[in-house]
Structure formats: structure tokens, C-alpha cells
């Protein structure tokens, strides 16, 4: 159980006081005139203060008849006192209490590293009422769907969507993105982010307790309570190892004393040394503290890993399956090409299309309007705009009726013959075609398509460099569009027309052929494959179903984090294995020395505490270490 800060401080006071009493008793033992009873009382007080922390776990172990490290330590102390070794018995318990306090401080540090995120959100937000009045209220009191105003320099109080205004948002503490992000209406902002120099009107998306930051903290806390496979393996080993050490210690005393009439004090002392050296705390603590450090580093970088088991699995990935829309692509249609007849420039074609369809609410109409605004293309005033479902929209521009929409909205002869072949090729490649003109004559065609994420080619290539030699694309889009995308990416296979059941079937086939397979997606239709994969990874801006189903969520919505995820997983699991190996080598090496009598009780405790401190320090070092093998992958931290 993780202890509170107050408990840790109380333990610190007791440990420091016990150490001072032990030192005073040791000094008095060298004073000839000092009564032995005084030193025994001081050693007893040292033992009492040091044992406060151990009483509950020792009683728990006795009730369950479980031979664990607490009972080993207790047996060693009692044995030392029976042999008259008061100084060493008190030192054993004090050093154990010191190591336990350092361990608690270390775990508290990993807790603070992630829980400090909860302090990012402000305690008041500017809530707008129906009468446009502004009230400062706690974020917990703001219902979902409320409007809040964000002034320059203020922190965002809740996860929200921008209704109006433009600004720059610094969200490094939440998503790991080191540079300010330009935000416009429709963009999402996260609680804890810092606003730039613009005034923003926001609409809250979820309650304060369900914000992105709160979910990160909650899931990392849950991850601490769940044990990773490596941790379970170590604890199973300790179940057999600890009784073996206890039995060995008994035999070290029993055989020489009972069979060969050797001195009880000599061999009893050696058995106590073996008990202390064999204490399994070093390799037990090696796993959880390192895994929690790895989870914390990942969360700082915008990678939410739901437990140590998922972190371990990320280290073992052999193949990856990607969804297309919203994963390898931006998920938003962008203008790719404009075809125009003489008399109208491409900018004029785009302006006319945005004037008529930009206010329709249609995905393509919104994309055209945003394109014109971003590129400062004038949008003329249109009148009498009406929607024609299934065809497009029409309106009056320059006193003439214009249409914007599909080719079937125009007369059969409206489209220039010279364009037909090119348009057929664009249509087969997956482009959405928007025609602009009068009912009798098309004067321009705009081709829009979902674009490849800028970071995708580099991320996939780096995954191959890291050893993932099979990367697959499974999409519900038609094959031509998938083939067009695949030409820009280092994919081994690209398959279109995959419904959710087909994705899952193809995923199972890859698992049988390549082994551990990860699935990366963002939509509702990806949820079955995310659940069926050995490791499900959801994009941060994806559907709630995908985020809930996945084992890992990329809060940054950036697949460039995938190589970083693998590097964190590999570094963490490698560190765990090294720590366990180091602890076992130190244990068995010192056991060999102790069994032949070349070690004392205090040396045994120092060896055990030293091994624990080494693995704790090694695990905590992940919190500040550059995980990347290439020197730059941790830039987002």
C-alpha cells in the first residue's frame, strides 16, 4: 500500500532518531565506566523506533504463515539478540527501516511526477450565462456543453472545443508538444494548457473529473495497482526463494552443531548473515519502481499506457496494423488540385465554391471555406443559397445562378471533354471532386482528398529501423484510395475494403504469421480490431470507444510517438531485467561469502540495502534519462 506524505515524514523522524540513539549507544559501549544496561536500553529504543513500520506487515505475515522478507528480517534480529549481539541486532533493524524509508520516498517521487499534472488546471473558470454575464466558478461546477471565456495568459480549466477566436496554446504539460499550437474555431484544447494572446470562447466537452489530465492520472494510478507479467514472475520466484533461504539458514546451523558438535554461537551467527543476505527486497522492488517510472515518462510525452503489462507488450511487438483515415491521414479533406477554364483563376474557383457551399455545414464545404481563409482567398457574397441534397448547393453570384457539387448536378454536356479522363483518374484514386459553374457550363473542378499526416512517413521508417519489418494498412476505403496513400509510405501491405470483421480476420492472420501484433486506429469501426490485437493503440482524437478499448492512447494524436513508445518500452523492460539480474548476482555472490564465514551481520544488511538502493536509483533514473537511441526522440518531454 502506498503511504501518505505524513506517514513518510513520521517514518523519517523515527528513523533519524533511532539512528542517533544507536550511535550514542555504540559510543557509550567504548566507555569503560558506562553501565551495560544503559547501552542495552538505547539499543532497545533503537529497535522499537525502527520496528514501528514493521509491526503491521510482520503480524500480517504471521497470520498467513507467509515467509516473506519481513519475517526473515525479524528472525535475524531476534537471533542476534539471543546471541547477545545487541549492537548488530539494532543496526539490522535500523538499516532496514532506512532502506524502507528511502523506498517510500522513491515511490512518492514517481507519484508526484505524474500527479503534479492535477495542479495544472485553474481553480476558477469564466462561465458565461445566457445573458452573456461572466461568473467565476470552480471547474467542478461547470456542466458539459457550457460556454466559458478564456483570456490571454490564462490556463484552460476543462477540456473544451473552440467556438470563436484564434490564439496559440501551449500544451506541453498535457500532450508533450513543446511548441505553441495555433488553434482556431473547431479545435480542441485540454485542461491545463496555457492560452496565448487571443481571447477564446470555448464549449466544454466533458466534466472536470473526466478531463484528459484527470484520465491520465487515474489510469496511471490504476496501472500501479495492476501487476505486470515480469512483476508477477518475480513475486512467484520470491515465494519459493524466501522459504529456501530460511531452510538454508537453519541447515547452516543445524548440521554443524548437531552432527559435528560445532559452536552454536559461530554457526548461528553465520545463519543469521545468510538470512539477511537472502532478503528478496532488492529484486522485488526492482520491477514496480522501474515500470512506474517508464509509465510516467510515457505520460509526460503524451503516451498513456494502461499498465505495466501493456508496456511490456510494446517491447515485444513484431508487426503493426494501421487504420487509414484519422490514423495515417489527418482525417480532414484538403484541397489537392484545382482545374479551371480560361477566364477564371484557381483562386476565383475556390472563392465561388466557398461562397455557396461554405455555410452548408457539409464536410467538403467547410474544408473549402477553411482553405480560402487560411490562404487569404477572397470569398464573394452569395445570395439565395439553397441546398440540393445528393447534388450540392446553388446560389446567386454576380447576378447569375451557380452550382457547386457533384457532376450529376450539371447538364451532361457541361463538363469539358478534355477533363473527363483526368477526372476519372482522380475519382479512381479516391479524390472527392467538386464542380463549380452554371447549370450549363462547368468552369472549374476542385479535387479534395484526405492527406497523409506529415509525421507518418518518418515514423513508419523509424519503426522499421527499430526492427518492425512488417507494417500493414487495413482500411474500409476502396482499394484505389488505399494504393494512392501506400505510395507515400513504407508499408509492406495495404488492403482496402475492410469492414470491421475483415480487419479482425486479417489481424488474426498476421498474429499467426508474425507473432505479437499491434493495431493503431481511431474510429468506432476500429474497436473490434483494437480489442483483438495483442496491443491496441488509439489515437488521442479518436472515438471514445477506441480510447476505452485500447491498451495505449496517443494523447498527442501524433503517430510520430510510436517509435518513442517502443523506445520507452524497450528501455524500461531492459532496465527491469538488468536490475533483477544485478540484484540476484549480488545476493548469490554475498551468500557464497556469508556461507563460509567471511561476512558479518552489518555487512549483510549493508549489502542488502546497497542492492536495493542500486535498483531504486536505476529505476528512478528513467525519469530524467534520454530514452531515444538517436538523441532526439525525447524532445517532447
Question: Which residues are designated catalytic?
Answer: 323
What residues pair up with 447 in beta bridges, in sequence order? 337, 433
Query: For residue 237, with 0-12 CB atoms within 10 Å meaning exposed, 13-18 middle and 19 or more buried, which class applies?
Result: middle
* Nearest in space to 227 (alpha carbons), one of 308, 313, 153, 345: 308
Distance CA 406, CA 404 (A): 7
What residues pair up with 135 in beta bridges, in sequence order? 127
Distance CA 466, CA 170 (A): 31
What Rg do the C-alpha atoms of the chain give, in angstroms? Answer: 33
The three grid cell numbers given for residue 248, joined into one nine-digit string: 538454508
What residues pair up with 517 in beta bridges, in sequence order? 319
C-alpha distances out from residue 497 to 17, 484, 522, 526, 546, Å? 71, 14, 17, 14, 20
Per-residue burial over 449-468, b = 16 or more CB atoms within 10 Å of its CB, e = otherwise: bbbbbeebeebbebbeebeb
Distance CA 256, CA 47 (A): 30
3-state DSSP of 194-210: EECCCCEEEEECCCHHH
Distance CA 50, CA 94 (A): 5
Q: Pairing between strand 470-474 and 319-322?
A: parallel
Q: E strands within 85-176? A: 125-128, 134-137, 147-150, 160-164, 167-170
The three grid cell numbers given for residue 632, joined into one nine-digit string: 532526439
The three grid cell numbers given for residue 320, joined into one nine-digit string: 503493426
Task: Quickly count: other Cβ atoms within 10 Å of residue 231's Cβ.
Answer: 20
Residue 426: CA count within 13 A, CB half-sphere? 20
Largest CA-CA distance found in the chain, in angstroms, rounded: 119
* Nearest in space to 241 (alpha carbons), one of 287, 280, 270, 283: 280
Distance CA 134, CA 128 (A): 5
Amino acid at each position: 500500500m502506498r503511504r501518505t506524505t505524513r506517514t513518510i515524514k513520521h517514518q523519517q523522524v523515527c528513523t533519524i532518531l533511532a539512528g542517533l540513539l544507536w550511535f550514542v549507544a555504540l559510543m557509550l559501549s567504548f566507555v569503560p565506566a558506562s553501565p551495560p544496561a544503559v547501552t542495552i536500553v538505547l539499543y532497545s529504543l533503537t529497535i522499537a523506533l525502527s520496528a514501528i513500520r514493521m509491526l503491521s506487515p510482520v503480524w500480517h505475515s504471521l497470520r498467513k504463515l507467509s515467509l516473506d522478507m519481513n519475517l526473515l528480517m525479524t528472525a535475524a534480529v531476534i537471533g542476534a539478540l539471543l546471541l547477545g549481539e545487541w549492537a548488530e541486532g539494532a543496526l539490522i533493524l535500523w538499516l532496514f527501516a532506512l532502506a524502507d524509508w528511502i523506498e517510500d520516498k522513491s515511490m512518492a517521487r514517481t507519484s508526484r511526477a505524474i500527479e503534479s499534472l492535477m495542479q495544472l488546471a485553474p481553480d476558477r473558470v469564466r462561465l458565461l450565462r445566457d445573458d452573456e454575464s461572466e461568473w467565476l466558478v470552480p471547474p467542478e461546477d461547470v456542466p458539459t456543453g457550457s460556454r466559458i471565456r478564456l483570456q490571454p495568459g490564462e490556463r484552460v480549466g476543462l477540456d473544451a472545443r473552440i467556438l470563436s477566436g484564434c490564439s496559440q496554446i501551449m500544451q506541453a504539460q498535457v500532450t508533450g508538444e513543446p511548441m505553441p499550437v495555433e488553434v482556431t474555431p473547431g479545435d480542441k484544447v485540454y485542461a491545463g494548457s496555457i492560452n496565448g494572446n487571443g481571447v477564446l470562447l470555448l464549449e466544454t466537452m466533458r466534466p472536470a473529473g473526466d478531463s484528459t489530465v484527470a484520465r491520465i492520472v487515474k489510469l496511471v494510478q490504476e496501472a500501479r495497482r495492476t501487476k505486470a507479467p515480469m512483476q508477477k514472475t518475480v513475486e512467484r520466484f520470491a515465494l519459493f526463494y524466501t522459504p529456501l533461504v530460511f531452510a538454508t539458514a537453519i541447515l547452516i546451523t543445524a548440521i554443524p552443531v548437531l552432527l559435528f558438535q560445532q559452536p552454536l554461537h559461530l554457526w548461528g551467527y553465520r545463519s543469521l548473515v545468510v538470512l539477511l543476505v537472502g532478503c528478496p527486497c532488492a529484486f522485488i522492488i526492482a520491477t514496480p519502481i522501474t515500470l512506474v517510472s517508464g509509465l510516467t515518462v510515457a505520460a509526460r510525452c503524451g503516451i498513456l499506457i494502461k499498465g505495466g503489462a501493456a508496456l511490456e507488450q510494446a517491447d515485444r511487438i513484431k508487426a503493426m496494423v494501421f487504420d487509414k483515415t484519422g490514423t495515417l491521414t489527418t482525417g480532414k479533406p484538403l484541397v489537392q488540385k484545382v482545374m479551371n477554364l480560361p477566364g477564371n483563376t484557381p483562386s476565383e474557383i475556390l472563392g465561388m465554391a466557398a461562397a455557396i457551399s461554405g455555410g452548408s455545414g457539409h464536410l467538403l464545404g467547410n474544408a473549402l471555406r477553411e482553405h480560402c481563409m487560411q490562404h487569404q482567398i477572397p470569398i464573394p457574397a452569395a445570395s439565395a443559397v439553397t441546398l440540393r441534397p445528393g447534388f450540392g448547393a446553388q446560389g446567386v453570384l454576380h447576378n447569375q445562378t451557380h452550382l457547386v457539387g457533384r457532376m450529376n448536378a450539371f447538364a451532361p454536356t457541361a463538363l469539358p471533354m478534355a477533363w473527363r479522363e483526368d477526372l476519372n483518374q482522380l475519382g479512381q484514386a479516391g479524390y472527392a471532386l467538386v464542380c463549380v459553374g452554371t447549370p450549363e457550363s462547368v468552369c472549374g473542378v476542385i479535387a479534395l482528398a484526405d492527406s497523409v499526416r506529415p509525421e507518418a512517413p518518418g515514423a513508419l521508417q523509424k519503426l522499421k529501423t527499430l526492427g518492425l519489418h512488417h507494417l500493414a494498412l487495413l482500411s474500409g476505403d476502396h482499394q484505389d484510395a488505399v494504393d494512392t496513400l501506400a505510395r507515400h509510405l513504407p508499408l509492406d501491405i495495404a488492403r482496402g475494403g475492410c469492414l470491421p470483421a475483415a480487419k479482425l480476420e486479417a489481424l488474426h492472420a498476421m498474429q499467426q504469421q508474425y507473432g505479437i501484433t499491434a493495431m493503431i486506429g481511431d474510429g468506432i469501426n476500429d474497436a473490434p480490431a483494437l480489442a483483438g490485437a495483442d496491443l491496441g493503440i488509439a489515437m488521442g482524437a479518436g472515438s471514445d470507444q477506441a480510447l476505452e478499448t485500447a491498451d495505449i492512447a496517443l494523447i498527442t494524436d501524433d503517430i510520430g510517438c510510436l517509435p518513442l513508445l517502443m523506445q520507452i518500452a524497450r528501455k524500461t523492460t531492459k532496465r527491469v531485467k538488468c536490475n533483477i539480474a544485478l540484484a540476484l548476482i549480488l545476493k548469490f555472490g554475498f551468500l557464497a561469502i556469508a556461507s563460509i564465514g567471511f561476512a558479518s551481520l552489518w555487512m549483510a544488511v549493508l549489502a542488502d540495502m546497497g542492492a536495493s538502493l542500486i535498483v531504486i536509483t536505476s529505476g528512478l533514473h528513467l525519469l530524467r534519462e534520454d530514452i531515444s537511441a538517436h538523441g532526439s526522440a525525447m524532445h517532447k518531454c
